[in-house]
Structure 1
Amino acid sequence: MKLTVTSFLFLLFTYLITNSLYAQSTDSTQYYVRLIKNPRQSNDLARAFKYFSKEKETSVKTKSLIHEIYANQNLAEIHKKLGHLYESEQFNIETLRLLELVENKTAWTDNCYLKTINELGILYREKKDYLTALSFYNEALKTATLPKNISTLLNNKGRTYESLQQLDNAKEFYEKAYKIAIEVNDSSKIARSLSNLSYVKSKLKIPGAEEGLIEALKLRLKGKSSNALGSSYSHLTKFYLSKKDTTNMTKYSDLFLHMAHKNGVARQLESALRLKIQIGDSNNAKEYLRLSDSLLTINKTQLNNFNYYMYQYDKKEKDLQESILVNERLIYLLLFIALGAVSIYFILKYKHRKEKLQEIYNTETRISRKIHDEVANDVYHVMTQLQGSPDANKTLLDNLEDIYKRTRDISRENSSIDLHMNFKDLISDLLLSYKTERINVISMGIQQMKWEH
């Protein structure tokens, strides 16, 4: 019972530790994702870049494609924020390659694919390579299954055609996007496609544009998305500018500027001030120029800080690696010394033991020879003499024979055969020892025998 309780507590402890580590990892990831979306400090993007770079390295080592894809997407977004369009493009293309390697596709991988394709389309649209952007959107539409994703891709195609000034094509894709958004009842996508569609209609002089723009604004006011609201305010301002409706033009441009000041988002404020200048309101020109210079400085500072931070980080990493290398060498040296010391100890111990055994062996051999050469032979000679005597005691002879046998056995057990002995003389002496008054032993061939063989 005690063992069962201990096992349960161990498993519970392991589970809690694992969950805690996973939660910490997840919290860290979300923290750096937030830094990418809304960087506050000049080195926020650099810190996020190093975090996801390490995540990518770890994912490669552990062969976790899903984590590598997620890290890639965030690295691409960081480069996009820094204006590194080429680097962002490379990370997105690599993400597509990794997605092809995923065997078991899920809704998450499908969304990743569409998001990556969409990002590539946006990048090429920003580079004014509209045809390539359209090719990416077309590729994504081949595999998109979720209506909301299809609506987004169609809307982006419409924007690309609008940038190409192909307004009829833009209207066609905005209408398709709007229709799908209505079917799935997605208010944010309805408002976006309706606003875009209505603005293009106004350019094409198609009736109903104003109503569509106002309806889209109402939907966005319910959703309270500042970015989406900015788009509606911009569309309405430009619409009324084309109609030379100064009142409404000023109204919506003021609402846009007020919202941008309230949110404190520099990019949004820049768009609102630029719009004011476009409609001929020069009162905000100085603020716009100051803000543009400020944004330019911020971008430059952010980029410089990013590069400097990366340089410092790489330098620290290099120093750390060198320190680790030195420590590893020191550890290997200590291990080598320890292994050498242990080896020497066992070698000396083995040598000492061998010498001890040799000494014991030599002592036993010397004793056994002494027993054989002196005691056994002397006993045997006494036995021989007694056997030749008519007055010999038979019991005494048996006892002597027993002593002789035991002495001989002791000698044989503790001594090896000496191959360098003079066997000819030894055998001659042995045979002569059997000689008595009544017995004579004659040996033949001993002289001719080649004992060295």
Structure 2
Amino acid sequence: MKLTFTSFLFLFFTYLITNSLHAQSTDSTQYYVRLIKNPKQSNDLARAYKYFSKQKIKHYKAGLFLKEIYDNQNLAEIQKELGLIYESERLNVETLRLIDRLEKKTPWTDHCYLKTINELGILYREKKDYTEALSFYDEALNKVKLPKNISTLLNNKGRTYESLEQLEKAKGFYEKAYDIAIEVNDSSKIARSLSNLSYVKSKLNIPGAEEGLLEALNIRRKGKNSNALGSSYTHLTKYYLSKKDTLNMSKYSDLFLNMAYKNGAIRQLESALRLKIQIGDSNNAKEYLRLSDSLITINKTKLNNFNHYVYQYNKKEKDLQDSKLKNERLIYLLLFIALGAVSIYFILKYKHRKEKFQEIYNTETRISRKIHDEVANDVYHVMTQLQDSPETNKTLLDHLEDIYKRTRDISRENSSIDLNINFKDLISDLLLSYKTERINVLSMGIQQINWQHLNNLQKSTIYRVLQELLTNTNKHSQASIIVINFSYTGKSIVINYKDNGIGTELIKGNGLQNTENRIHSINGSITFESETEKGFKAIITI
């Protein structure tokens, strides 16, 4: 009897601890979700990013795909909030692939799929890639089952055709979305499709538009959704603008503006002020410009704080990651030994040494030619001037200083690389060294790359190519931001390099030709894209 009671106590306390831990995890997740939706501190998004990144790794290792999908969606939302559209797009596409891998679909996975498709559609609409947005919606319509989700997708298709000014097509999709919303009796979807449909009808001069817009507004007022109300106020304001009804036009635009001030929602306030300007109310123009400038400053600060916080966090996590990588390398080494990899090792070592010697020779030749062409000729020219001049003047001293600076740059560009240092840190330090008050260098994905798979020649080549690209941007581009994204495509490492500088017409001089030669020497590829006033972009695949 005593043993039974002890076992009962053990099971009881185990149950309490398990449920307590689960509750803490759930509470933490909801806390960080709220931070994403309403960040108040400068490092809130970075903290949420750290949390969901760790959760994603944990859930991936445990095979918990549903939770990994949820983590991925939150990470995509963070990137979108920071204005990193391409990174948000990549994460949303990854989420779709995770959902496709699930054998059993549920209403929750249907919801996740719809949310991800919506996000991608919005991203593509913002990029004005309407064809791609429509293709995502069509694909989703073939997969989702819930009528209310189908209504949402039809609304999105109508919105896309409305952006394309194909109003008849937009009207058709809004009508279908409205009919389904009525069938499932979903008030929010009824109001959304009715407001969209009525607004398009007003553009097509079809009777009943005003009544539909007002009915949608009344439904939304009962729901108390400020974003939805803002959409109704916008539709009604534009409708009365087209009818030259200044009284109602002012009424609904004022309601939108007052609601935005009351909510303290900055982006909602920006939309309301923009609407005021669109209807010719210039009294709010200064406030709109001030708010837009504030948003730009806030976004820049938010992004800078995010990168700084994540960088510091990654530095702290480095020892733990190194330990895990060492264990992984040990396992791989044992497997290679078991498979008799000694012979392969010597073959690869011989090939690597041959390539390395060739690269050293090419580098020495290039440095020799550069010193000869850029330094020796200048020194000779200055010496000639000094011989002809009775006394040294300031111009000659300035010229000598310029030669010194160029010589120092050449030395820096060709200094030795200590590949015994962790390569992630080596690359991070390189990028950080080019960050100045004038240029902000942002990097993404560097921690997700397993650099251990690369040999020393590949590592040194990547280092030199990035160094040359950064140097060219620093010297010639007049850029303020450099963004470098590290990712995988299949088994290849892809490095996307982009700046917002003045750009140029691509003519492969020594700089670009050198980077191309380096990448080709390790069987990689590099492409360049640039136009005047449109920045510079390079894509490296290894």
**Please, what TM-score do these two structures have when normalized by structure 2?**
0.59
Residue type of the partner of 1:207?
P
Q: Supply the AA of the counterpart residue of 1:234.
A: T
In structure 1, the partner of 2:254 is: 254
1:322–1:69 distance in 2 versus 1, CA, 3 Å: closer
Q: Secondary structure at the match of 2:145?
A: coil
1:85, CA displacement in angstroms? 1.3
Amino acid aligned to 1:108:
W
Partner of 1:21: 21
Indicate conservation of the 8 Å contact 1:79/1:88, yes or no.
yes
CA distance in 1 between partners of 2:74 and 2:194 (Å):
30
Structure 2 equivalent of residue 188 of structure 1 = 188
Map 1:29-428; keep pairs closer than 5 Å.
Answer: 29-318=29-318
Mapped partners of 2:134, 2:73: distance in 1: 21
Describe the shift of the 1:323–1:173 C-alpha distance in structure 2 as closer, same or farther (beyond 3 A): closer
Q: 1:290 to 1:191 in 2, by over 3 A?
A: same
Q: Distance in 2 between matches of 1:118 and 1:295?
A: 24
Aligned to 1:336: none
Q: Which runs of 5+ in 2 are unaligned?
A: 327-542
Q: CA deviation at 1:316?
A: 1.7
User: For the residues of structure 1 that align with 2:169 and 2:163, how far apart are their CA atoms?
Assistant: 11
Separation in structure 2 between the aligned mates of residue 186 and residue 323 of structure 1, nearest angstrom: 53
2:442 alignment counterpart: none
**Hey, what's the Cα distance between the residues in 2 that align with 1:268 and 1:39?**
16
Q: Is the 8 A contact 1:73 1:92 kept in 2?
A: yes
Provide the C-alpha distance between the structure 2 equivalents of 1:104 and 1:156, rounded to a whole number of angstroms: 26
* Aligned-partner Cα distance in 2 for 1:147–1:79: 30
Cα distance change of structure 1 residues 239 and 302 upon mapping to structure 2, 3 Å threshold = same
Q: Aligned partners of 2:100 and 2:146: how far apart in 1?
A: 19
Select between 130-139 and 60-69 the one with higher mean Cα deviation.
60-69
TM-score, normalised on structure 1?
Answer: 0.70
Q: Which amino acid aligns with 1:134?
A: L
Instruction: Tell me the C-alpha RMSD between the 2 structures.
Output: 1.6
Letter in 1 for 2:228: A
- Report deviation, 1:65: 1.2
> Would you identify which runs of 4 or more consecutive aligned residues in structure 1 move more than 3 Å?
319-326
Cα deviation, residue 25, structure 1:
0.4
Taking only the aligned residue pairs, the percentage that are identical comes to 80
Deviation track 1:43-63 (CA, whole Å, cap 9, x = no partner) reads 111111111100111112212
Shift of 1:107: 1.9
Larger Rg: 1
Deviations 1:152-190 (CA, angstroms, capped at 9, x unpaired): 000000000001111111111001101111111111111
SS of the counterpart of 2:19?
A: helix
CA distance in 2, matches of 1:141, 1:322: 45
How many residue pairs end up in the alignment? 326
Name structure 1 gaps, 5 residues minimum: 327-453
- Counterparts of 1:206 and 1:157 in 2: how far apart (Å)? 21
Change over 3 Å in CA distance of 1:325–1:192 after alignment to 2: closer
Q: Which structure's residues are more often strand, by fraction? A: 2
Question: The residue matched to 1:104 in structure 2 has which SS?
Answer: coil
C-alpha contact (below 8 Å) 1:53/1:75 kept by paired residues? yes
Q: Structure 1 residues 54 and 151 mapped into 2: Cα distance closer, same or farther (>3 Å)?
A: same
Secondary structure at the counterpart of residue 105 of structure 1: coil
User: Could you tell me which residue of structure 2 aligns to residue 395 of structure 1?
Assistant: none
Q: What is the CA–CA distance in structure 2 between the aligned matches of 1:171 and 1:213, rounded to whole Å?
A: 14
CA–CA separation in structure 1 for the residues paired with 2:26 and 2:61: 19
More helix per residue = 1
CA contact (8 A) 1:118 1:140 kept: no
Highest RCO, 1 vs 2 (Cα 8 Å, sep ≥ 6): 1
